[in-house]
Amino acid sequence: MNDLAREAAAVIRALRERDQNTSAHCGRTCALSVETGKACGLSSSDLATLKLAAELHDIGKIGIPDRVLLKPGRLDDEEMRIMRTHARRGHDILVSIADDQIAAVATVVLHHHEAVDGNGYPDGLKGEAIPVLSRIVSIVDSYDAIATVRPYHKAKSHADVMRMLFEGEARKFDAQVLTTFEKVIQQSACRAASP
């Protein structure tokens, strides 16, 4: 195992130790992001970056206080403001590893909550200004978050999740990536249950 692989494994282990639910979510997001990236025709280099970025997209949550991260209910405005710092925190954690590939991963992590209409965070990027790898992680992250039990909602069926994603298409998601994702998820082991 090279130094980069050891450092990445240590960061992934830290997330697993911090919060099992977030760790499991990141694992599913990783698998489904790679499937989607392959269907989008990404290069092997981009797929490697995507794999690591999807697995680490929520690493910044290790810096979120328990009262927010583990709250058994909806977050209020101030708690949501704190939670939204996780993308920047994740970026900052990753750029502390001096490596060009990790720097690329950090950029994907930073922008995985941007929205195509410019109303995402942390930088309000719009459309094509959002890195394509971030656009992939955004869709997959949302799919898994909606499809699994959270303190503030029950798991939704596959059909319900897809309806919600397409309703948010023009506002939040890249239409082309979402169409590709829709094809991928039909055959994926990560597909949510039907009612």
Tally of domains in the chain: 1
Per-residue pLDDT tens over the stretch 5-32: 677 777 777 766 666 676 677 788 999 9
The per-residue pLDDT for 3 is 67
Per-residue pLDDT tens over the stretch 132-164: 999 999 999 999 988 887 666 688 899 999 999
The per-residue pLDDT for 141 is 94
User: How far lies 18's CA from each of 9, 29, 132, 145, in Å?
Assistant: 14, 18, 29, 18
The per-residue pLDDT for 21 is 72
Q: How confident is the model at residue 184 (pLDDT cuts 50, 70, 90)?
A: very high
pLDDT at 195 over 80: no
Evaluate whether residue 195 is within a structural domain. no
Q: Centre a 10 Å sphere on the Cβ of residue 142 and count the other Cβ atoms it contains.
A: 21
Evaluate whether residue 193 is within a structural domain. no
Evaluate whether residue 89 is within a structural domain. yes
Evaluate whether residue 91 is within a structural domain. yes
d(CA 40, CA 182): 12
d(CA 195, CA 165): 17
The per-residue pLDDT for 109 is 98
The per-residue pLDDT for 90 is 95
Per-residue pLDDT tens over the stretch 114-133: 999 999 999 999 999 999 99
Q: Which residues are within 8 A (CB) of 128 and not within 5 positions of it... i.e. 6 or more apart?
A: none
> Is the Cβ–Cβ distance between 86 and 63 less than 8 Å?
yes
The per-residue pLDDT for 105 is 95
The per-residue pLDDT for 181 is 96
CATH code of the domain containing 170: 1.10.3210.10
Evaluate whether residue 181 is within a structural domain. yes
Evaluate whether residue 47 is within a structural domain. yes
Q: In this predicted model, which residue has the larger pLDDT, 26 or 93?
A: 93
Q: Which domain holds residue 65?
A: 3-187
Evaluate whether residue 192 is within a structural domain. no
d(CA 46, CA 40): 11
Q: What is the pTM of this model?
A: 0.91
The per-residue pLDDT for 27 is 82
Per-residue pLDDT tens over the stretch 67-87: 998 888 889 999 999 999 999
Evaluate whether residue 94 is within a structural domain. yes
